[in-house]
Structure 1
Amino acid sequence: MPTSSQPDSIPSARLARLAQLGAELHANSTESAVWAALEQTLADFFGHSLFTVLAFTEQGDVTRLYSTNTDLHPLGTRKSSPTADYDRDNVETPPPPPCREAWCQQVLVDGNVWRGSVREDLKAAFEDWEQLWQAGLGSVMNIPVRLNGVTIGSLNILDKEHGYDTADLKLCILIAQIVACFIHRVAGETVKKQLSR
Structure 2
Amino acid sequence: MMTDLQRLALQVQEAWAAPDQPRAVLEAAGEAFAKAVGYRLYTVTRMLAGGKEVERIHSTNPEVYAVGGRKPVLPNAYTQRVRSEMKPFLAKTPAGFAPLFPDHETITGLGLGCVMNLPIVFGGAVLGTVNLLDREGVYDESHVEPAMLIARQILPALLEQGA
Structure-2-length-normalised TM-score: 0.88
Give the match for residue 47 of structure 1. 38
Q: 1:63 aligns with which of 42, 49, 55?
A: 55
Separation in structure 2 between the aligned mates of residue 117 and residue 175 of structure 1, nearest angstrom: 20
- Give the superposition deviation at 1:119: 1.7
Number of equivalenced pairs: 161
- Give the superposition deviation at 1:166: 3.9
| Unaligned runs of at least 5 residues, structure 2 | none
Structure showing greater radius of gyration is 1
Q: Deviations over 1:121-167 (max 9, x none)?
A: 23122111111111000000000001112111000000011111143
One-letter code aligned to 2:64: L
Question: Where in structure 2 are the equivalents of 1:54-93 lying within 5 Å?
Answer: 54-59=45-50, 60-78=52-70, 80-81=72-73, 83=74
- More strand, by proportion: 2
| Unaligned runs of at least 5 residues, structure 1 | 3-7, 84-99, 192-197
Give the match for residue 154 of structure 2. 179
Separation in structure 2 between the aligned mates of residue 20 and residue 145 of structure 1, nearest angstrom: 18
SS in structure 2 at match of 1:167: helix
- Give the superposition deviation at 1:63: 0.7
Give the match for residue 127 of structure 2. 152
One-letter code aligned to 1:55: R
- What is the RMSD computed on CA atoms of the aligned residues? 2.1
SS in structure 1 at match of 2:27: helix
Separation in structure 1 between the aligned mates of residue 72 and residue 134 of structure 2, nearest angstrom: 27
- Give the superposition deviation at 1:172: 2.9
- Give the superposition deviation at 1:183: 1.4
1:107 paired to 2:89:
no
